[in-house]
Structures are given as C-alpha cells and as structure tokens.
A and B are shown apart, each in its own frame.
Chain A
Amino acid sequence: MFLKEKDKGKKAIKIVVAGPYAAGKTQFINTISEIETVKTEAKTTTEDEKKVKHHTTVAMDFGRIAIDDKHVLYLFGTPGQSRFDFMWDILGKGMVGLVVLVDSTDPSTFHEARKIINYFETRYPVPYVVGANKQDLKGAWSPEDIRISLDLDDDVKVLPLVAKDKNSVKKVLLELLEEINKVLEGQ
C-alpha cells in the first residue's frame, strides 16, 4: 500500500524511526530520504501541542532510499503521540533496525522515549540506537546523561544528533547498520 509504482517487485527493507512527540523524526527522514518524505500529518489539537508545532504525524512518515534494482530501503517514522501507538506494532513488524530519537533539550519527554524502547524491546528485539537530537541547541543534555536517564546499558549507542544535518543523520544510520552487522556476524 505504501510502495510507489516503480518499487513494485522490489524487496523492501525497513528501518523504523521512533521517538516522543517533536523529537525530530520527520526531520530525520526528510534529511536523508531520496524522495520527498510522504507524510500523514494533521493539525495539532491541544494547546500544549500547538505550542510545540502546528502539524504532527498521525499514521507514519516514510522516506525512501534505493539500494539496487531489487531492493529499496524505507525509513518509517512512527507517530510520537501515544494515542497513535497502535501504529508502532504495525510498523515494527519486519523491521531490521530501530532508531529512537529524543529531544535532548526536553527531559520531560525522556520518559516517553523509555516507554517506546520498552515497547519495542519486549516485542521486536532488533538492533537499535538512540539519537540524542537537537544537540546544537542551548540546554541540550549530553548523550551520556540521556543514556542513564533512559536506563540504557553501555552497550546501547546513544549518539549525538542534529537531524537537520545530513552528515549527522548518516552517522546515526551507519552506526545502526554496524549494529545490524554484528547480528549477522552472530555476535
């Protein structure tokens, strides 16, 4: 249903980008996708949400990167608000890896990030990394402090990220792919 006409017959490889509301998931996908990100946005409804942004993802975002004639990599962004969490299960099925984004400047959202990690870890234990986004902004928590706050072990990569910056996004994805490689090598 999400595939473009030219992708028919190609195998879809799926990476999911999850995270709390306004963590920068849509931006992350936008920055790296070869196509304009397909968005399913609606206007924000509550006053608190409107203070942060005017539109929010309600089903998913997806970006696309062509790999070869037979394969295409899709980046699926989950909705950040918990009222759309039924989408997490739909998007989690069949993924090869997970990127969890957090807004490093907003510790009130770290709890939601932890819930998201708990959710995927208990259902889809795929390789994952955490992107500590908005590291360019004042008041950003360090990736190390975010790791402790999310109850993550040292073996989980918590990476500094600026989702507007292509190299920064590439670095996070490459780190995830390295984790996936470890699984393939049986480590």
Chain B
Amino acid sequence: MRLALALTLLATPALAGVEEAVNAWILPGVAAFAESAGTLARSAAGDCTADALRPAYLAAWEAWAPLADIRLGPSEAGALSIAYWPDERGAGARTLRGLIAAEDPAGLDPVAYAEVSAAARGFPALDLLLGDPDLSGYSGGSYACRLVQTVAADLAVQAEALAEGWQAEAQALTTAGAEGNAEYLSPDEAFRAIYTQALSGLEFSADTRLGRPLGEPGTPRPTRAEAWRSGRSLPNVAASVESAVGLARELADGPIPATEAALDQVHHAEAAIDDPSFQDLADPTARLKLEILQQRIRALIDAMEAEVGNPRGLQPGFNSRDGD
C-alpha cells in the first residue's frame, strides 16, 4: 500500500496536492454532510416542531459550511439549491409564504419539491421556517410542520446526490492530464480549479458574508447577515476560512507559515466578536471588530496567493460568482 502510494507520487508529482485536497478534505466533507442531512431528515420525520429540530439543523449546517464555497463539479449548481444566499429579493420567504397560504401539495412531496424555487429549498428555507417568529410557531401535524419535513427530506436527497456526484468529479480531478480526461487537461488545471475555490471562498466571506451586513458606514444592515436567525453568521465565516486554509495546506508543497500566521490573526479577530449573528452592528465597536475581521481575511488571501499559487506560477481562474 505504502509502496503503491509512493509510486503514484513518483508518477504524478504534480498531482500530489490535488489528490490530498480531494481525498483528505473534500470527499470526507461531502460524506459527512450527507450523513448529517440524513440525520436531520430522520429527526424531522420524528418531530418536526422548530425547537425539537434545531439541534439537528445546526449540526447539518456545521457539516455544510466547510463545503459551501467549493463550487466545482456537482457543487457548482448543487450549492445553489442547498444554500441559496444572498436572496436579495426575498424570493425564499415569498415562495414559502405562498406554499403555506395555499397549502400547496408540492410542499408535502419531496420529489415534487425538487422543482420548487431554489430560494425556498435547503438551509435558507429552514432558517426561516425554524427561526422566523411568524413562521416558526407551527404545531406538529400542521402544514408548516410537514413542509419542514419535506424541506429536510429534499435536503437529504440533495446531499446524497452531491456525495455521489463528487465520486466522478474526484476521479476527474485526480486523473488530470491523463488521456481521456476531457475536464482537466493537466495537473495545473486541477490545482487551479481547487485553488480558485479556496480564494473565492475567502473573497466571498470578506465581501459578502461580512460586507453585506456591514453596509455603508452609518447604515449597518444586520438582517442581511447570512443565517442570522440561526446564529450561523460568524460560524459560517469561520468554517469557510478553515476550509480555504485546509485546502491550501493540502495543495501546497511544504509548510505555509505566512498563511498560518494570517489565519491566527483571523482567529483573534473572530474571537473578539460578541454576537455571532452580527445583530449588534449599530454599535461602533462591534462594527469595527467586523471590519477588522474583514481586513484580516483579505490579508489571508494575500498570504495564500504568495505561498500557494505564486510558487506554482498560477493565478486563480474564473469563478462562478464573479458576475454581479
């Protein structure tokens, strides 16, 4: 086994970091998420009321958050219906209220639910149904309670499909450059694909997860924080950062001390934040702490570029979120 591995490394030294990122990081992550989502669906089937379901819901978020910014292969479109955010026009809330008001049969059928607006599926839907005061007071057996069961079941199906889809993507990434691999024509392309996810995840956290609630000076927008009803705003940023650095460690040839130091600075900035939901941003001190975290994530991006991409002569590629 050890010999085989050594031979593999000898044969394709350029793929070493890619294999580790895929096998040690992404694949275990998607498997763990599928398991958590399954637990959530079974919990919901047992007791769908908001208080009872919240622990399993938060555990599923914990499993998803490290994967949230990896938009490769099956995750590229898959992530949109697992955690559609930001929902700038409130499409999720509008759709859910419409389903509930009409007692739409699609809300009771996980198969039919796959056709419902992506904004009303997955985590953002549960965030509203379990956390919004107007929506979360439903009783067991009510339409809303059964809708929660449907959303959870649909999420579990999506998580299973994601894990399955990643088997093929993992194969494509780890055989980059091999004959017949039409997706990745060289090891560098596979490396760049993963590297781009790490960097764009950090950018998304700085610009959007933190930038949206920060708003303009004088007009903070705390209800624009991600999953603020569940207290997941800061933990999601933290998980995204850990994931980016985790991928960077796998991709890099050797130690990445400047990146590790920058990560330490991010940790300090995270620890200073009092409200993980970012609902205290009207307080100038709270705002400053969030701005500091934002700056330190940007410094982490610089460090990662210097230590991971530049030594290999690679810049990040296009990412699925670099439109508007």
A and B: bona fide binding partners? no
